[in-house]
Chains A and B, each alone.
Chain A
Amino acid sequence: MNDEQEPALETHDLTVTYHKRPVLYGIDVAVPQGSLVGIVGPNGAGKSTFIKSVMGVVPSSGGWVKVFGKPMRENLHRVGYVPQRESVDWDFPVTVMDVALMGTYGGLGLLRRPGKAEKLRASEALDKVGMLPYSNRQIGNLSGGQQQRVFLARALAQDSDLYLMDEPFVGVDAATEAAIVTLLREMRERGKTVMVVHHDLQSAGEYFDHLLLLNMRLVAFGAVQDVYTPELLQKTYGGRLTILSEVADQAAKL
């Protein structure tokens, strides 16, 4: 496969509309392989929506997404997704091991059941995030940080090349936050591309090597030293482009 030069993720004119109200306009971005990207922007900037639309969880109303040079659909197996922790019911009757195993389902199709190889992969992933001793616990009996680790283990068990993570640092303790950062860097060392929705501007500058500044449209994408500048941050956090969003609202109602 000669796709080393291909961007890990490329979007062109990606636009998302929620209830006829546009929340993301024409996002054009090409993320180089092996980068650790923080997606930052104010509340309501469409950070989560961006990765959800890339994953196809939220339908996009325009534009396209390519992964390693191919349409998303064809390369879906190379993408791992970590949804927000609050998006699932933690009272669900599954164990930590069950959740980690879910990461291996992608290669199994609908009918095949996970065998020894899959269980090994899931155990290794749990071990990596320090959750192996909790394998048989029901997921509701975990702290917020532990729950996030389980979600990460599930993604690791997917063994993907591109990872999209939705707010993995929300509601976790300091120890887990540090452990996640270490894990993300390790993944980058192994050539993985990781994109993380992050809400804390302060730490964004030190956790990631690339930043994607988002406020309903793409403000900037690039290496941290190039885009972590007062002007660009001001542009990102300095309020909406009111006319753009108003006109877009009107247009959507036509």
Chain B
Amino acid sequence: MFGEMSVLASVMDILIPGSGSGKAIMAAVLLGAGCGLLGCFVVLRRVALMGDAVSHAVLPGVVAGLIYSSERSPGIIFLFAAVAGLLGAGLVRLMMMSTRLKSDAALGIVLATFFAFGIMWQSRNQQDTVGVMNFLFGNIGSIDASDLRMMLVTTSILVVTMFFLRRPLLLLSFDEGFSRGLGYPVKILNGVFYFLLTFSVVVALQAVGVVLVSAMLITPAAAAYLLTDRFERMMILSVVFGVVSGITGGLVSAEVNGLPTGPVIAISATVLFGVIYLFAPRHGVLSKVMRTLRRRMRVRRENTLKAIYQIHEGEGFAHEEVSVLMLARKRGQTEENVSKDCKALLSRGFIEMAEDGVSLHLSRLGWKRAMEIVRNHRLWELYLTNEADYAEDHVHEDAEKIEHILEPGIVRQLEQHLDFPELDPHGKPIPQPAHLVAQSTVTI
């Protein structure tokens, strides 16, 4: 038994680097991996506050560990901290079950009480708890070989358990009712989850500190969630973000005198999150703004095309050309603005401009798109009046929006449904872009 233990210990000692910065980096990797993995579930199950409560609740355990282990043994500190964290989580559940309090209130009470108790206990035993600041605000430099050994064991347990239980835990997080229906031991799985959560908090404790551990649980996972729709990828990204912010924070706080590690790690994670929040390809803010802008520009172009068509229609399609001035009047806009719109249409090949720069005509592509928009508008008006019993004078506004988003499939359905109508409710003809193509092939 002891022989095996010492073999294990020596294997671990090979893994543990000798230099101080090497130790710091390894600690960052371990805490990033642990918190990153658990964080995915914390974010998806919306129990972010629970992570915060557990991390604050471990403080009395840390204080007890410092007082009752003569050589500041990481094993003892870990044990007490984990017990305190689990006790806190258990109390939260007990309060929720026995009263009508919801989780947020119960969490708030437990978090504050445990933390206050820890601080009080610590200030009464200042000599025995010299290193407590490291646990409060984090100090990656204070992590020594025996701490690392503890972190290594804990993180390994955590990663292995997560690997084997990821599918049931995912299903439980997604649909608890269904997983009960499958006969999953829901209570045990939830218990395992809170065990692992406490483990990950304790692993990160010495590097990040009690107050900010929850940042490591939430921020990297939240950033990963904005980047992907696949759970496996989310876990990998979350671990990577956790590790990167851990290393960055560790290095920066080692370089700059007087900066505690925890806050720097938390801020690094937030910077990473901020970049992703802005620039994530699908769920990022910038891409959403860009999508809205692009859609607005397209609507504007299409409205200009429609106006050109309507001018032609008003003249009985007698003239080839339309002038910018006519278009400006029709659109109710300045000539300058309309000129800009025309440039956009020109660059996309919807219109051709005459050399004078004031008259223009639709290209074949332009005719097709203009007819489609006008057709969409009038089809939709007809559909609303015929099928949805809208009054004739109420349909225009709605059609102004819908005309830009009707997909070809729905247009076909509408046409079939309305039996290929020729006139809209106001008696105007519904254009047939398909005929245009047919005619043009004949002329060629």
- Residue positions of A touching B, CB distance < 8 A: 19, 52, 55-57, 73, 76-77, 79-81, 83, 87-89, 92-95, 98-99, 102, 105-106, 110-111, 113, 138, 140, 154
CB distance from B427 to the nearest CB of A (A): 31
Task: Please name all residues of chain B whose beta carbon is closer than 8 Å to the beta carbon of A140 when the two chains form the complex.
Answer: 229
Most buried by A among B165, B177, B180, B231: B177
Q: Taking CB as reference atom, which chain A residue is nearest B282?
A: A138
Q: Taking CB as reference atom, which chain B residue is nearest A77?
A: B183
Interface string of B147-175 (1 = CB under 8 A from A): 00000000000000000110110110111
Number of interface residues of B (CB under 8 A): 26
Decide: B44 and A92 in contact? CB cutoff 8 A: yes
Decide: A102 and B184 in contact? CB cutoff 8 A: no
Q: Taking CB as reference atom, which chain B residue is nearest A98?
A: B231
Task: Please name all residues of chain B whose beta carbon is closer than 8 Å to the beta carbon of A95 when the two chains form the complex.
Answer: 229-230
Task: Please name all residues of chain A whose beta carbon is closer than 8 Å to the beta carbon of B168 when the two chains form the complex.
Answer: 105, 110
Given contacts A76-B183, A93-B230, A102-B171, contact A87 B164 (CB under 8 A): no
Q: Which 4 residue pairs are nearest across A and B when measured between Cβ atoms? A: A81-B181, A138-B229, A106-B182, A57-B177
Q: Taking CB as reference atom, which chain B residue is nearest A105?
A: B182
Task: Please name all residues of chain A whose beta carbon is closer than 8 Å to the beta carbon of B173 when the two chains form the complex.
Answer: 92
Decide: A76 and B167 in contact? CB cutoff 8 A: no
Task: Please name all residues of chain A whose beta carbon is closer than 8 Å to the beta carbon of B177 when the two chains form the complex.
Answer: 52, 55, 57, 81, 83, 87
CB distance from A138 to the nearest CB of B (A): 4
Task: Please name all residues of chain B whose beta carbon is closer than 8 Å to the beta carbon of A102 when the two chains form the complex.
Answer: 171, 174-175, 178
Decide: B175 and A105 in contact? CB cutoff 8 A: no
Task: Please name all residues of chain B whose beta carbon is closer than 8 Å to the beta carbon of A55 when the two chains form the complex.
Answer: 177, 180-181
Interface string of B33-68 (1 = CB under 8 A from A): 000000000001000000000000000000000000
B207 beta carbon closer than 8 Å to chain A = no
Bound-state CA distance A111–B192 (Å) is 14
Decide: B184 and A110 in contact? CB cutoff 8 A: yes
Task: Please name all residues of chain A whose beta carbon is closer than 8 Å to the beta carbon of B231 when the two chains form the complex.
Answer: 93-94, 98
Task: Please name all residues of chain B whose beta carbon is closer than 8 Å to the beta carbon of A138 when the two chains form the complex.
Answer: 229-230
B225 beta carbon closer than 8 Å to chain A = yes
Decide: B174 and A89 in contact? CB cutoff 8 A: yes
Decide: B175 and A87 in contact? CB cutoff 8 A: yes
Decide: A105 and B167 in contact? CB cutoff 8 A: yes
Decide: B180 and A92 in contact? CB cutoff 8 A: no
CB distance from A245 to the nearest CB of B (A): 20
Task: Please name all residues of chain A whose beta carbon is closer than 8 Å to the beta carbon of B345 when the two chains form the complex.
Answer: none
Given contacts A102-B171, A102-B178, contact A111 B234 (CB under 8 A): no
Interface string of B109-138 (1 = CB under 8 A from A): 000000000000000000000000000000
Bound-state CA distance A94–B182 (Å) is 19
Q: Taking CB as reference atom, which chain B residue is nearest A52?
A: B177
Task: Please name all residues of chain B whose beta carbon is closer than 8 Å to the beta carbon of A76 when the two chains form the complex.
Answer: 181-183
Bound-state CA distance A89–B231 (Å) is 14
Task: Please name all residues of chain A whose beta carbon is closer than 8 Å to the beta carbon of B230 when the two chains form the complex.
Answer: 93, 95, 138
Decide: A111 and B164 in contact? CB cutoff 8 A: yes
List 12 extra interface pairs beyond A55-B180, A80-B181, A105-B182, CB under 8 A.
A57-B177, A73-B183, A76-B181, A76-B183, A93-B231, A94-B231, A105-B167, A110-B168, A110-B185, A113-B167, A138-B230, A154-B178
